[in-house]
Amino acid sequence: MHAKDLPEIRHLPLFRDMRQASFDTLMDKAYAQSFPMGLELIRQGDPADFLHVVMEGSVELYAHWAGHESTMAVVHPVGTFILAACVRDQPYLMSARTLERSRIILIPASDLRVTFRQDPDFAVSVVTELAGCYRAVIRHTKGLKLRNSRERIAAWFWRQAAQRGNLASFVLPVEKRFLASYLGMTPENLSRSLKSLEADGVKVDGSRVIITDRARLEALVQPDPLIDGA
């Protein structure tokens, strides 16, 4: 556990408002570890031992059943994952693997559970964080059910651009096959849709995305804060 990580972790909404003493004891039990690319950090069904914080790299959360696999989320720095399993002391619902070499902070779930029972400010932060996670999944599921695959891709691009201050061009932060799976389609389907989206104001060349016609894209996306986020 490196001292230089502490300010960054402390700055996260989840840890921002807790008592310094609680934060210190929690961090005291935590440790950092670096993992190579492609390593399975968590297997779905395993007991929830640690809250994970991604400091560097990126982590895919994915689900599998009957030989099928689906990307549920990709976590980038600085972000946490599987808080819900930790607080309920129940098995993980998703597996996790590193998408690149990653540095992860591991916070023992048992200490977490003790801490939010002792520090009311932290409890409030956990409540707020979990409510936010819940709402994020609901929004994603709404997108899956209400939009077709072309619209989902367009909406994802629109959102990415918006998060970068409406930048007209950016590089994909994940490989296309994970994006495809996250958006609930096959890589082939994504590939074909990308080509057809040139007519709707997005051009994709390799991993570079260029919004060529923002108005046209927006007409297709019909952005909705209750799906795409504020």
Partner DNA sequence: TCTTTTGGTTGATAAAGATCAAGCAATCTA
Partner DNA sequence: TAGATTGCTTGATCTTTATCAACCAAAAGA
Binding positions for DNA, rule: CB under 7 A:
148-150, 175-177, 184-192, 194-195, 204, 206
> Which CB, 149 or 160, lies closer to DNA?
149
Which DSSP symbol is given to 169? E
For 66-101, list the strands marked E by DSSP.
68-75, 79-81, 95-98
List helix spans (H) across the chain.
5-10, 13-16, 20-29, 83-88, 109-118, 120-146, 149-163, 176-182, 187-196, 214-221, 225-228
**Listed ranges 5-13, 78-86, 200-208, 211-219: which one lies at the site for a copy of itself (CB under 8 A):** 78-86
> Which CB, 7 or 225, lies closer to a copy of itself?
225
Please name every residue paired with 74 in a beta bridge, in sequence order, or none if there are none. 60
* Count of positions on this chain that bind a copy of itself (CB under 8 A): 48
- Pair 103, 8: CB distance under 8 Å: no
Measured CA to CA, the distance from residue 84 to residue 93 in angstroms comes to: 10
**Listed ranges 28-36, 79-87, 166-174, 194-202: which one lies at the site for a copy of itself (CB under 8 A):** 79-87
Of 36, 47, 132, 173, the one binding a copy of itself (CB under 8 A) is 132
Give the interface with a copy of itself as residue ranges (CB under 8 A): 44-45, 63-66, 68, 70, 72, 83-85, 87-88, 90-91, 93-94, 116-117, 120, 123-124, 126-128, 130-135, 137-142, 144-147, 184, 222, 224-227
